[in-house]
């Protein structure tokens, strides 16, 4: 079943009015016919079962709402993925795969060793990255669109997620000796909202790990092998959700 996120304002009573880009996709890319069903998501957690209505005169595409349910695909735990700003391809991979895995918030950060040192993002890049998240959310059947936050300095990112998330974990390849396995740090903790930090290609500096600890962030190992940052960024949320039984 094809899934589309739309602006809730485009749902009027039992009708859906599709915006031009989705109308184009329905007509010309997916070549759906009158009466074909699609799933429409309003980003509030609802999924609508919708029958397509094609208007031959105006080229507009609308839909009839057949039923409405709550999406069952959203994790119970809100997971934020905070990752070092890196090149475009890696960021895009992290956003796409993170969305599939179940991340709800992306916080790119700039730290002493990140490839990218600027916290500025062009409007064009934001739009492209939001489109990638949206496509991944539609493809994977998410009930809500993950949010892409403004890039921030590492210390500001720590403070920001400290306010919003009950638990913060930082993946540190040198923490194996401390014996912090995921199961240990997840035990009896606030499971409602967890922030995860993954460092850049060059890793975190000692000073950054110290700062994270002072911000009540716990270091965790992802195993004895050193993973590339993008691998760690995809695995970390998946492992946490798995460990929580989700």
Q: Is 98 among the residues that bind ligand SAH (CB under 6 A)?
A: no
Residue whose CB is less far from ligand SAH, 31 or 225: 225
Q: Is 229 among the residues that bind ligand SAH (CB under 6 A)?
A: yes
* Residues whose CB falls within 8 Å of the CB of residue 193, separated by 6 or more in sequence, listed in order: 77, 78, 79, 80, 164, 165, 166, 167
Which of 91, 132, 136, 198: binder of ligand SAH (CB under 6 A)? 198
Which of 23, 232, 234, 241: binder of ligand SAH (CB under 6 A)? 232
CA R_g for the chain: 20
The answer to whether 238 touches 122, Cβ cutoff 8 Å, is no
Q: What is the spatial distance between Cα 196 and Cα 91, in angstroms, rounded to a whole number?
A: 16
Which of 3, 92, 221, 246: binder of ligand SAH (CB under 6 A)? 221
What minimum distance in Å lies between the beta carbon of 34 and ligand SAH?
Answer: 50
What minimum distance in Å lies between the beta carbon of 191 and ligand SAH?
Answer: 21
Q: Is 154 among the residues that bind ligand SAH (CB under 6 A)?
A: no
CA dist 96 to 137, 157, 170, 185, Å?
A: 8, 21, 21, 27
Q: Is 110 among the residues that bind ligand SAH (CB under 6 A)?
A: no
Please, which of residues 156-195 interact with ligand SAH by CB under 6 A? 171-173
Q: Residue number with the shortest CB distance to ligand SAH?
A: 199
Which two three-digit tokens encode residue 135?
């496509």
Q: Is 8 among the residues that bind ligand SAH (CB under 6 A)?
A: no
Q: Is 203 among the residues that bind ligand SAH (CB under 6 A)?
A: yes
Q: Is 204 among the residues that bind ligand SAH (CB under 6 A)?
A: yes
- What letter would DSSP give residue 25? I
Size of the site for ligand SAH (CB under 6 A): 16
Which two three-digit tokens encode residue 189?
């903790």
Q: Is 43 among the residues that bind ligand SAH (CB under 6 A)?
A: no
Q: Give the CA count within 13 Å in the CB-facing half-sphere of 87.
A: 2
Q: What is the spatial distance between Cα 223 and Cα 202, in angstroms, rounded to a whole number?
A: 18
Q: What is the spatial distance between Cα 101 and Cα 239, in angstroms, rounded to a whole number?
A: 10
| Binding-site ranges for ligand SAH (CB under 6 A) | 171-173, 198-199, 202-204, 221-223, 225-227, 229, 232
């Amino acid at each position: 079943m094809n899934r589309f996120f739309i602006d809730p304002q485009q749902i009027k009573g039992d009708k859906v009015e599709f915006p031009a880009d989705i109308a184009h996709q329905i007509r010309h890319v997916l070549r759906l016919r009158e009466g074909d069903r699609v799933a429409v998501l309003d980003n509030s957690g609802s999924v609508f079962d919708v029958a397509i209505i094609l208007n031959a005169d105006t080229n507009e595409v609308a839909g009839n709402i057949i039923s409405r349910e709550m999406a069952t695909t959203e994790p119970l735990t809100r997971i934020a993925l905070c990752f070092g700003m890196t090149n475009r391809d890696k960021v895009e991979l992290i956003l796409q795969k993170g969305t599939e895995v179940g991340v709800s918030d992306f916080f790119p950060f700039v730290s002493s060793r990140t490839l990218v040192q600027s916290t500025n993002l062009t409007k064009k890049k934001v739009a492209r990255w939001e489109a990638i998240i949206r496509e991944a959310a539609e493809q994977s059947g998410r009930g809500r669109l993950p949010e892409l936050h403004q890039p921030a300095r590492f210390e500001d990112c720590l403070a920001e997620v400290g306010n919003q998330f009950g638990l913060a974990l930082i993946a540190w390849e040198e923490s194996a000796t401390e014996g912090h396995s995921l199961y240990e740090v997840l035990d009896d903790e606030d499971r409602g909202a967890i922030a995860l930090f993954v460092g850049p290609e060059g890793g975190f500096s000692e000073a950054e790990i110290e700062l994270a600890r002072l911000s009540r962030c716990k270091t965790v190992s992802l195993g004895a092998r050193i993973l590339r940052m993008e691998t760690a960024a995809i695995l970390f949320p998946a492992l946490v959700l798995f460990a929580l039984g989700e």
